[in-house]
Amino acid sequence: MKEYIIKGLQDKQSPDEISGRMKKDQEPFYASKNCIYAWLYSAWGQQYCKLLCTKRYKPKKQKKNKIKREMIPQRISLELRPKQGIHGQGDTFLSPKKSRSKHAGALICEPISQLLVGEKICNLKAKSMTRAVIKINQRIKLDDLTLDNGIENRDHKSFKIPSYFAEPYSPWQKPDVENNIGLLRKWFLPKGTNLSKVSNDELQKYLHILNSKYRKSLGYKNAYEVAFANGIIKKIPETYQEAMCNYY
């Protein structure tokens, strides 16, 4: 059981995911997530705490900084979005202001599968965002996008997919992409990371790892498995290079 847990931690699985998968696969042993955490925080397991996404004994609370929002031309409210369909949620994450870097990441999350697809962009200009969204949209099946009111989305009519907009300062209207950006931050790109020093290849590797993680919310399946089962992707990529291809 110890070897099973350590291997899970090395594969970027949380104690909760390790425990859930252990039960799902009907292993001849079982440990709850609380039991795994208790072992990790003990003298016998603390050497493996560095494999946790937080790399800490207790999670660190982070302050949420509001991002300036701007109204979008021909903006269509989220209230008018059809109830039926596969709805994607889009957002960006930025380099810190003190770095003076304009590099950012453009991400889209599909809520049913929690599939996270993205591209690195060199700035938040509308043209850069448009290229990224078109490229991402070629990889997965989506009927529409839910976006915030950032100025990078002002050319949404060129995205080649219907776009609807959340109310300003309302991250709860697109919670899945917000939560997955949080996971990306926790595991790989903590706040303060200068994205000009992160290549698009590196970003794709990180997204591939997250999409390969077994999740409690998905019945301890990973995002690729659920997306494939729901027709959101037509095959499950085995490597991040495959994930960068147009696999829908």
pLDDT tens digit at each of 248 positions of the chain: 999 999 999 999 999 999 999 999 999 999 999 899 989 988 898 899 999 887 766 545 656 555 444 568 899 999 999 999 999 999 999 999 888 899 999 999 999 999 999 999 999 999 999 999 999 998 999 999 999 999 999 999 999 999 999 998 888 999 999 999 999 999 999 988 999 999 999 999 999 999 999 999 999 999 999 999 999 999 999 998 888 875 54
Q: Which two tokens stand for residue 119?
A: 């591209």
Model-level pTM?
0.74
CA nearest neighbour of 94 among 117, 118, 124, 116: 124
Instruction: Please tell me the predicted confidence (pLDDT) of residue 65.
Output: 55
- Quick one: fold of 78-243? Nucleotidyltransferase; domain 5 (3.30.420)
Q: In what order do the strands lie in the sheet with 104-110?
A: 115-121, 104-110, 87-94, 144-147, 163-165
Instruction: Please tell me the predicted confidence (pLDDT) of residue 245.
Output: 75
Residues with Cβ within 8 Å of 231's Cβ and at least 6 positions away in sequence, in order, are: 141
